[in-house]
Structure formats: structure tokens, C-alpha cells
Chain A
Amino acid sequence: MVEYRMPSLGADMEAGFLREWRVKPGDHINRGDIIAEVETQKGIIEIEVFDEGIIGELLLKIDDKVPVGTLMTHILTESEAKTGMKVGEKEEEKVPPKEAEIEEKEAKVAGEAATPPPAIPTPPPIPVHRIRASPLAKRIAAERGIDISLIKGSGPEGAITRKDVEEAVTTQPRPLSEQASYDAAQQPTPEKSTTDTMRMAIAAAVSRSNREIPHYYLQTKVDMSLALAWLTDTNKQRSVKDRLLPVVLYVKATARALEEVPDMNAWWDNGLQRKKDIHIGFVVSLRTGGIIAPAIHDANKKSTDELMKDLSDLIPRARAMRLRSSELVDSTITVTSLGDNTVETMFGVIYPPQVALVGFGGIKEEPWAENGMVGAKPVLTISLSADHRATDGSTGSRFLTELKKYLNQPELL
């Protein structure tokens, strides 16, 4: 039997609110399955499990506050499940941990005041009597102006789940009069909640970083002629859907350079802890303000095509604030690309406990001297922010030099 506790979702997060169980007791689950959805400052996060087995009793109710470390359920073996092992009240007595209990009590006493505003503004309620639907599904339906009574549920006993509502959003016809209010719902929210809570999360993370991490900064420039020519050539043979963006080369080159300079692929936690796997946190900026940096897992092992596919999946989910728990916490380094038509250089703030952040500016045509000749070249500026507790300038310099090497030989990526 494995205790399943609310995982930490990053340096800046202490608790969330349970919004949906995606499993019920007795369900068989595999590694990587999603068992619940928890609302945090970073949106609604899908909580994954990392064990295989049978789900025991669900120990939390919908809308419960879930501090990190709270026991959520047990994962039982086949035989434990067969013997009908009661997942005990004894365990329940032990948890949630003391601090959590206190927090819970305080939250109850203080009522509304202690409850962070929901990440998504609460819309006017739509009557949903006698319809089995998760609170999350009801809320999304109300926000999107979807008539929940017309949706066929696919959950337990025909209950309507978030997925059903989201599918209905794309299929349910809307009368023209409703179009306006639907469109209005897509506008930047007049309520401040999403932006505010996100801002607070970022504020907490960068303040901690600035307080704790002695940053040093390095910068280098790359003539991108070869890389861009390689991209143009590759893209010519592809349909629009399969075309690659320069950012894929940045991610892959970073991953390859980390293989050569593993000290940059690490966490600082009472000392340097090198990480075996290379998970690149990719900064996605949200149009309503704020950023989020989900992990591209095992970036060094993926082809440029696979990385493009990953980005096509991650970016829209990050913007919709629908990420998985592992994507929020696994990153071993951060990559940020400002894109074209922007500034050339950025010196970023490291996301603890990582020890480095690589910034790619916009590609600009610049005079470039080579072999005694000056010409105009598309130039990319790459900057590195690194933790001086973990590495020194020489390591950082070696890393940037490797990164440059790969961008000059895109066929190696």
C-alpha cells in the first residue's frame, strides 16, 4: 500500500483546492495516470500518480483545501484490494499533517477571507438541479454559457465531467444572442483574480530567487545563417502543420549542451544535485499577463519533430492553465525565448531550485566580422543566468560555447 499525498507543485505553492476526482475507489491506475484536478495559482493542475495499483478510499472532498503533503488516497496492491483491506481511519488520524490542520482551521475561522480568490472568475450561476456533474464541470459550463442539461455525461453513473463540457463547448450550437456573451467571456477578465494570483505566485518565486541565489550572467552571440538555412530547407519539404520553429533548435541545442556540461542541469538543495534526466522548463507568456514554464520532459532524447509536437501540446495547455503536476515541478533548467521583433538580450531570474536559465533574444541582422571581413548576418544573442553557488563562470562559459556549437551545426540536433 502506498500513501498518495498532495505533491509539491513548485517553490511558490503551498496549497490548492481539490476540484475533481478523476478516479473512484477500486479503479486500476498506472504510472502517469491522472487521479485528480487541483486548482492552484497556476490554474487547474492535473495530479498524476507514479505508482501502479488500485485506488483506495478517497480521503478528500471536492473543494477541500489541500496543503502540500496531505494524504489524498492510498494505492493498493491487487491482493490488498481483494482482501477488502479497509483503508484505515488510523491513517486518517495521522493526516493531514499538523500544520495543515491548523491551516484548515484558520481557513474555516476566517471563512472567505482566508480563501484565495478562485483562479477563474465565478460566473452567474446557471440552474443545474438534478443533473449529475462535477462542480468543475458545472462551473466551466456556466462560464462558457453552455447548457449543461444538454450534455451527455461520460463519468461514473453518467455524471458530467470537465471533459464532457469542454467537448460541448466546441460542438453545442449557440444561438446568436448568446454569441455576444460568450465572446465577452473570452475577453480579459474584468475581475482581477487570475492575473492577481498568478502575479503573486511569480512575485513569491522571483523574490525567493533574488534573495537566495547569487546570480552571475554571461552572454554570447551566434551567427544564425546556417541554422536558419537548415530550417528553411527542412520546412520546404513539410506541410505547414509539420514546420519547425527556431525555438525547437534552441531547446534541442540547450539539451545537447547540458549533456556536455551536466553541472548546469541540476538543483541546488543544500549542495549541487545533478539531475540525470534533462527536463527543460519552457517559458510561455500568458496574454493576460504572467508566465508559466512547463517542463518538456527528456528533451535531449527527443527529435526536433517530437519537440515541436511537445510544444504544440504544451503551449496551448499552459495558456489555458491546464498542466500536469509533473510539468510544473520536474524542470531541471529554464529556457526562455523572447521571439522575433523583440529585444536582443535578456538576463533572467533563475527559478529555484534550478541553477540556470538560458535566454534567447530576437534574431537581428547585425554587422558580423569573420576572417577579416565584415558582413551583415542574422545574429542571435544567448544569455545565461546561473547560480554562483552551484557553478563558476568557466562552467557557464563552457556551456554557452557548447550551445553555440550545436546551433552552428543544426544537422547534429
Chain B
Amino acid sequence: MNEEEIKQTVIRLLKNIAPDMNPEELQPDDSIRQTLGIDSFDSLQFVVAMDEAFGIDTPEEDYGKIQTMKSLLEYIKSRMRK
């Protein structure tokens, strides 16, 4: 999966969580939660979906590393390499 494919998958997953928002318009450094109005419950659902889609396992202490689109994509890439 290249970076663009990862990004498209992330956007699709975010759209499932917040169907009435436009995750494709997120800037690399925007806070995903604040920009999309996602609450803690939605975030948890997103992490569940993300782990499933990319076959990774995101521990709770890493939640701080996935706050923006840029950091999220970096994080997924690094976890997929492991």
C-alpha cells in the first residue's frame, strides 16, 4: 500500500465515522478530531476500524501520535513496516 492508498483508506474510514463531514479537505496539520468534530467515542471506533483495515495494533498510549493527518499517515506506515 503506498501513501496515497493509505490516505484514501483513512479518508474512507473517517467518512464512515463522520458521514456528514469532509475528511478529504483536511490539511496535513489540522487536528482531525477538532476539524471533523469527532468525540472520544468516534475516535475509538476509528482506531478499531483503522487497526482492522491496516492489520496493525494501536495501543492507547499512541493515541497522541495520531492527531493530525500527517502524523496519522506516518504512524500507520511505521506500524505496517513492523
Q: Which residues of A contact B (CB under 8 A)?
A: 183, 186-188, 232, 235-236, 240-241, 243, 245-247, 285, 287-288, 311-312, 315, 339-341
Contact = CB atoms under 8 A, between A and B. Distances in A.
30 contacts: A186-B15, A186-B19, A186-B20, A187-B20, A187-B22, A188-B20, A232-B60, A236-B59, A236-B60, A240-B57, A240-B58, A241-B48, A243-B60, A245-B40, A245-B41, A245-B44, A246-B40, A247-B40, A247-B41, A287-B18, A287-B21, A287-B37, A311-B41, A312-B41, A312-B45, A315-B41, A339-B39, A340-B40, A341-B33, A341-B34
B1 to A, nearest CB: 20
Contacts of A339: 39-40
Nearest to A320: B19
Interface string B39-82: 11100110110010000011111000000000000000000000
Interface of B: 15, 18-22, 33-34, 37, 39-41, 44-45, 47-48, 51, 57-61
Contacts of A288: 20
Identify whether the interface residues of B are mostly helix, strand, loop, or mixed.
helix
B79 to A, nearest CB: 13
Contacts of B40: 245-247, 339-340
B78 to A, nearest CB: 17
Nearest to A242: B48
B21 A240 contact: no
Given A186-B19, A187-B20, A236-B59, 19 more contacts: A183-B15, A187-B22, A240-B51, A240-B58, A243-B44, A243-B60, A245-B40, A245-B44, A247-B41, A285-B39, A287-B18, A287-B20, A311-B41, A312-B41, A312-B45, A315-B41, A339-B39, A340-B40, A341-B33
Identify whether the interface residues of A are mostly helix, strand, loop, or mixed.
helix
Contacts of A186: 15, 19-20
Contacts of B60: 232, 235-236, 243
Nearest to B38: A287
Nearest to B39: A339
Contacts of B19: 186
Contacts of B59: 236
A225 B20 CA distance: 35
Contacts of B51: 240
A186 B16 CA distance: 10
A187 B40 CA distance: 22
Q: Would you list the 9 A-B pairs with minimal beta carbon distance, nearest first?
A: A186-B19, A240-B48, A339-B39, A235-B60, A287-B20, A188-B20, A245-B40, A240-B47, A241-B48
A85 B13 CA distance: 54
Contacts of B18: 287
A183 B23 CA distance: 12
B49 to A, nearest CB: 9
Nearest to A246: B40
Contacts of B48: 240-241
